[in-house]
Structure 1
């Protein structure tokens, strides 16, 4: 990946880490949209979504072919939480591994994995219809992150760990 992408990936990881504490410092409905309001796995997916989305705007600012870049970045935005959830639940359920150091490593790897996926896909010629699907999926996912902060379903992913 380009050096610029790695730098922005690193800054996104730092931004997500800072977002973790935003709601504790300033608890209100606006910060609840962007920062975790509980320790549930679902709430922590915001730490991937919002910094990655902001990074996508930075990375596409001077791009000649914005559609191609956005298509790859949206795939990375949607792929990062899948990577995180897959690894987290595999390690938790399959190997009984959990803890803060592991969570931090998984977070950084998921963010880097999302950026790597975006980098590779933005260089490929993805069909235009797929980009439209990715825009809709990313919008629905972002809306779900916001909505379920205020009205979470009674499912394990939305409950804080015991």
Structure 2
């Protein structure tokens, strides 16, 4: 399978699993292990897990399928995830800042846009020689590990910042 097929499969996988991860914490009756990878409330931060978790899991699969042969695979996947997360946050806060409230259809659209931007960036960059140095590899690996740690820590002990606040209950984390 070529990178184009992997990209399309990754988008579909991320959209489906990301959507399911919106509900898995509730379905698990509040299981703390599930909380690490699923949205535990309606905060923007928790919704970033809907992109991160499936993209990370799919990147692991891709790595063993073909990514280990590409020297820029790890840094490109890290940057792709960051770009998708940034796209979601920037789009959400821009549109809610303009219209004064959020709409479910627009929130779903920001998620879809984040997934598309992430995978398109990844597809394009994997065709290049950018980020092929050992420093880029190490930075990408450390970045992915830091994101994993942040999602774990901030699920149970989030900073008291608007990004982490559930707009419905006005609480943070679990």
Q: What is the TM-score with the length of structure 1 in the denominator?
A: 0.92
Aligned partner of 1:33 in structure 2 is 36
Distance across 2 between alignment mates of 1:110 and 1:42: 14
CA distance in 1, matches of 2:161, 2:78: 26
Confirm or deny that 1:132 pairs with 2:138.
Answer: yes
Aligned structure 1 segments of 4 or more residues deviating by more than 4 angstroms: none
Aligned to 1:91: 95
CA distance in 2, matches of 1:93, 1:141: 27
Structure 2 portions without partners, runs of 5+ = 169-174
Moved more, 23-32 or 97-106: 97-106
Tell me how far apart the structure 1 counterparts of residues 121 and 98 of structure 2 sit (CA, whole Å).
26
Please give the per-residue CA displacement for 1:84-106, whole angstroms capped at 9, x wherever unaligned.
11111111113435211001111
Looking at structure 2, the residues matched to 24 and 5 of structure 1 have their Cα atoms a distance apart, in angstroms, of 30
Match of residue 15 from structure 2: 13
Deviations 1:58-115 (A, max 9, x none): 2222226143222222211121101111111111113435211001111011011111
The CA distance in 1 between the partners of 2:70 and 2:6, in whole Å, is 17
Residues matched between the structures, number? 162
Q: Is 1:50 matched up with 2:53?
A: yes
Once the two structures are superposed, the pairs formed by residues 46-85 of structure 1 within 5 Å of their partners are 46-63=49-66, 65-85=69-89
Name the CA distance, whole Å, in 2 between partners of 1:140 and 1:123: 26
- Distance in 2, matches of 1:53 and 1:98, equals 27
* CA drift at 1:130: 1.6
Deviation sequence 1:90-145 (CA, Å, 0-9, x none): 11113435211001111011011111111111122123312211221221122111
* C-alpha RMSD of the superposition: 1.6
Higher relative contact order (CA 8 A, sep 6+): 1
Q: 1:72 touches 1:120 (CA, 8 Å); kept in 2? A: no
1:143 corresponds, among 140, 149, 167, to 149
